[in-house]
Amino acid sequence: MPQRNSNSDAAWLRQVVRLFVVLTSLCLEPWPASAKEDWSLEGRGTLFYTTDVGLFSATRRLSLDGDPTQPAIDSKLTNKGSDMVFEPLLTVTRSLTNGLGRLDLNVQGQGFIFTDNPQFNHGTMRLIAIQDLSPNTRVHARFYYAPSQFLGDNEERLSGQKLLTAENVTSYIWATRLIHDVTPDLSVRLLGRYGMRRYNEAFSERNTDFWTIGPHVDWRVAHNLKLGLSYHYERGLAEGRNQPQFVDDTSYINHYLTADADVELTDRLSLLTAFHYEYNIWTSGLAGDERNGAHETIYQGEVILAYHLTDSVQGFGGVQHSIRKESFDSSSAKETNLGIGLSAGF
């Protein structure tokens, strides 16, 4: 049985730790007295009811600024029952002015805490830098880290016995956006990202490297209405493509399209809507692999109503609904999330 390269994984972990230390030190180290700086803190807490704990995290991350191309979700990982989930989010930002203009450095931590299914509990971290390049242009760099996320109990392939085993994945994603304001009401962005997903030993043939590119457009068509349209092309290559003995190649080509509309109903009340579509083409050429010649289609919609209680405190509630269908499955996987929460900035 082939083994994962533990030295390689350890090297990647050391790089992640180094990056965290470097970016955190940028936030904390003293800058020249002439630099204009400011600190801010934002906290958010959301309580969700989900109809499927197995799909909750994938649905929550399927968004333009999230991680829309989640790991392969097999049918054994879905229909795991309902639960209540608490999702805390904390963001610390240091804002500075340097020779190029404004620079924002922030650290963001997010958690997912399940009431009746604690094995799904996990957290993520984001390190973000936003640098002005000119009055109308800026660059946005981000590192995303999601360690040891439990996906569920699945059939492993390495032993040849298809035993039910816990499937876990760790994601590392580096992303850059170049943002340009064409007019005060029209903004265009170009996204590029590279990522790695590293699985536990039993599913190591699913270790995947991927890259993404795509344009985004935001247009304020009226003082109270903003529209957005975005597209991502992504290519993912899994180790299983070179390990035909396991008949499990999760390599893919992904097309992701999203459209959103933000409506200011009153000075304090806003309506946020989004629709997401994914077409995932499995590129396995392995004989006997269920993904050989197959594809996956995902439709997801969400509606959020947000109300500003004060200038710094906001309450919100919303619903998400997703439908996932593999071409080799006779049925689709559906999930709904209902959430209510509060956010505050300082």
Q: Is 162 exposed, middle or buried (0-12, 13-18, 19+ CB in 10 A)?
A: exposed
Q: What is the mean pLDDT of the segment spanning 104-112?
A: 96
Question: What proportion of the chain, given as a percentage, has pLDDT over 90?
Answer: 82
pLDDT tens per residue, range 224-256: 999 999 999 999 999 999 999 999 999 999 999
Report the alpha-carbon angle 112-108-68, nearest 5. Answer: 60
pLDDT confidence of 9, banded at 50, 70, 90?
Answer: very low
Cβ neighbours, 10 Å, residue 121: 14
Question: In angstroms, rounded to a whole number, what is the distance separating the alpha carbons of residues 57 and 306?
Answer: 22
Tokens representing 277 are 């579509």
pLDDT tens per residue, range 267-307: 999 999 999 999 999 999 999 999 999 999 999 999 999 99
Pick from 275, 339, 346: nearest CA to 88: 339
- From 7-21, 86-100, 187-201, 321-335, the region with the lowest mean pLDDT: 7-21
pLDDT tens per residue, range 146-195: 999 999 999 999 888 889 999 999 999 999 999 999 999 999 999 999 99
pLDDT confidence of 2, banded at 50, 70, 90?
Answer: very low
Pick from 163, 300, 296, 147: nearest CA to 236: 296
**Mind listing the domains of the chain with CATH numbers?**
6-345 (2.40.160.40)
pLDDT at 166: 95
Q: Is the pLDDT of residue 8 over 50?
A: no
pLDDT at 14: 52
pLDDT at 202: 95
> What's the predicted TM-score (pTM) here?
0.88
Instruction: Output the CA torsion 96→101→105→110 (10° steps).
Output: 120
The answer for residues whose C-beta is within 8 angstroms of residue 158's C-beta and 6 or more apart is: 1, 2, 201, 202, 203, 204, 205, 246
Strands 83-97 and 208-222: unpaired
pLDDT confidence of 18, banded at 50, 70, 90?
Answer: low
Residue 294 to residues 88, 279, 328: CA-CA distances in angstroms? 37, 11, 7
pLDDT at 36: 58
Q: Is 97 exposed, middle or buried (0-12, 13-18, 19+ CB in 10 A)?
A: middle
Question: What proportion of the chain, given as a percentage, has pLDDT over 70?
Answer: 90
Question: In angstroms, rounded to a whole number, what is the distance separating the alpha carbons of residues 289 and 270?
Answer: 47
Q: What is the mean pLDDT of the segment spanning 9-25?
A: 49
- From 31-40, 55-64, 228-237, 247-256, the region with the lowest mean pLDDT: 31-40
Question: In angstroms, rounded to a whole number, what is the distance separating the alpha carbons of residues 199 and 259?
Answer: 32
Question: In angstroms, rounded to a whole number, what is the distance separating the alpha carbons of residues 171 and 176?
Answer: 17
Question: In angstroms, rounded to a whole number, what is the distance separating the alpha carbons of residues 17 and 8?
Answer: 14
